[in-house]
Amino acid sequence: MKQLADCRLLLVDDAKPNLDILVEGLKGEHKLSLAMNGETALQIAARTPPDLVLLDIVMPGMDGYAVCRRLRQMPETAEVPIIFLSSLEDVDNKSRGFEAGANDYVTKPFHLMEVRARVRALLKAKAYSDAVKEQLAADLRVAHDIQMGMIPQDFTALEKAYGVQLAGELAPAREVGGDLYSAFPGMAGRLVLLIGDVSGKGIPASLFMVRASSLARLLGRESAEPERILARLNNELAADNPSGMFVTMLCAVFDPATGAIAMANAGHNRPVLLRAGVPARWAVEGLGTALGFEPDLTFQRADLVLQPGDALVLYTDGVNEAFNPAAECYGNDRLLRDVAAFAGQDAPAVAAGLLKQVRAFASGAPQSDDIAIVVLRHEGRPPA
């Protein structure tokens, strides 16, 4: 936690006698920066962000209200405590000060003892708040590492065992997210592929994701039928779900001996089939119902035979529901058009290329949802 003596105060007043009084009373307790007008104060705050601002209201040019609003708009000072020191003592002026973003208001002539006490109180509160945020950030970094450790990164063994190429991309909108994908050995020499999207974002979604993913991996080793895997998973999630959260999921089971792939959809985005020489198309038409709402749901099965070189592209709605600065949505039509350009390419190129297209469309707009992409490409060679 930051010590009070290490905290920097920015003193802003156009009257030098007032600054002299403040400097004399505070110089032994804190580091000080001085400004005699609003423009200079903003420049100093941007260059050397203070821990607290003591701000006059009536100044030539930019008044204290305007300075306060600008400080609240600057990322460096958005949460820095601001105390107004002003001779304007009526209620309207004080209300304007708090509406502009001030934390406290002291009227002139002021007593240095009172100013010191208020400064110390706000600095201690800020230091405690900063320490809590730092601890939370550290915890989130650990949670991020744990979550990423649960997502498969190296598919080499599976690729050799099943004669396929696999690739995945995961980009949470926050430190941790609710999107998931997985690939693992199933029953009877099958490969099970999962992708899902938990409702919401952040820590609650990530915890629900861990539970759903762990259960799905267990159930995927007991059945080669994707519709049955989803039905049993839904019963498990719905039976004990006090948070009311849900997860959309698509489950695919691939038979390397025949190239057949069976799929079932629980409210998730439709996967795309990429085949060289033909337009990209949806591999599954039905959407189904998300998991966790109620028990005893049934799910439709769709069967497809992959030809050598075909790729199946699974993704979450952070892809087709990405927005650019003009609030335009990426959309399904653009998704089909963009991903079609990668037909015939290897799985990593498809996954990375689609993510690059989405980010190019977003043009720097904040990511509104988690993004997950996983690609399976049938190589047409006998599995090891």
Residues 303, 158 share a domain: yes
Do residues 186 and 308 share a domain?
Answer: yes
- Write phi, then psi, for 271 (nearest 5 degrees): -70, 160
Same domain membership, residue 105 and residue 225:
no
pLDDT given for residue 148 in this prediction: 66
123 against 380, higher pLDDT? 123
Does the structure show a pLDDT above 70 at 23?
yes
- What count of other Cβ atoms lies within 10 Å of the Cβ of residue 17? 8
372/335 same-domain check: yes
pLDDT at 175: 64
Q: Which of 90, 120, 141 is the last residue of a domain?
A: 141
What integer pLDDT is reported at residue 171 of this predicted model?
A: 85
User: Model pTM?
Assistant: 0.71
**134 in a domain, yes or no?**
yes
The verdict on 235 and 106 lying in the same domain is no
Do 250 and 343 fall into the same domain?
yes
Phi/psi for 97 (5° steps) reads -65, -45
Region 99-111 average pLDDT: 91
| Nearest-angstrom CA–CA distance, 384 and 377 | 16
What is the full DSSP assignment across 76-91? TTTT--EEEEES--SH
Q: Is 284 helix (H, G, I), strand (E, B) or coil?
A: coil
**243 band by pLDDT with thresholds 50, 70 and 90:** confident
**Does residue 160 share a domain with residue 106?**
no
Letter string b/e over residues 197-207, b meaning 16 or more CB atoms within 10 A of that residue's CB: bbbbbbbebbb
Q: Which domain holds residue 110?
A: 4-141
- Same domain for 238 and 372? yes
| Neighbouring-strand partners of residue 166 | 376
% of the chain beyond a pLDDT of 90 = 67
- In a domain, residue 274? The reply is yes
Classify residue 147: in a domain, yes or no: no
- Position 53 pLDDT exceeds 70: yes
- What's 25's domain CATH number? 3.40.50.2300
- Kindly state the average pLDDT of the residues 291-312: 93
Radius of gyration of the chain from Cα atoms?
29
Q: What is the pLDDT of residues 309-359, one digit of tens each?
A: 999 999 999 999 999 999 999 999 999 999 999 999 999 999 999 999 999
Q: How confident is the model at residue 192 (pLDDT cuts 50, 70, 90)?
A: very high
Better-predicted residue by pLDDT, 326 or 109? 326
pLDDT score at 62: 93
Do 332 and 271 share a domain, yes or no?
yes
Residue 378: strand pairing partners:
164
pLDDT of residue 383 exceeding 70, the answer is no
**How many domains are there within the chain?**
2
The answer to the question of residue 146 being in a domain is no
Q: Note whether 178 and 226 are same-domain residues.
A: yes
Distance CA 247, CA 294 (A): 12
For residue 137, pLDDT beyond 80:
no
Residue 175 shares a structural domain with residue 96:
no
- CATH number where 212 lies: 3.60.40.10
pLDDT surpassing 90 at residue 145: no
Are both 217 and 342 inside the same structural domain? yes
Confidence label for 370 from pLDDT (cuts 50, 70 and 90): confident
384 is a domain residue: no
Per DSSP, 271 falls in state P
- Find out whether the peptide bond into 109 is cis, omega within 30 degrees of 0: yes
In the structure encoding, which two tokens stand for residue 256, read together? 């390397």
Q: Specify whether the CB–CB gap between 316 and 269 falls below 8 A.
A: yes
Categorize the per-residue pLDDT at 173 as very low, low, confident or very high, splitting at 50, 70 and 90. confident
pLDDT at residue 5 tops 90: no
- The pairing of beta strand 301-305 with beta strand 311-315: unpaired
Q: Is 76 inside a domain boundary?
A: yes
Q: Alpha-carbon distance 173 to 306, whole Å?
A: 33
Q: By percentage, how much of the chain surpasses pLDDT 70?
A: 96
What average pLDDT does the structure give for the chain?
90
Instruction: Point out the domain boundary residue: 141, 167, 196.
Output: 141
Average pLDDT over residues 125-145: 81
Task: Of 2-16, 197-211, 232-246, give the lowest mean pLDDT range.
Answer: 197-211
Q: What secondary structure does DSSP assign to 357-382, as a single string? A: HHHHHHTTPPP-S-EEEEEEEE--S-
Q: Of 141, 166, 195, which residue sits at a domain end?
A: 141
For 147-165, how does the pLDDT look when each residue is reduced to its tens digit (9 = 90+)? 666 677 789 999 999 999 9
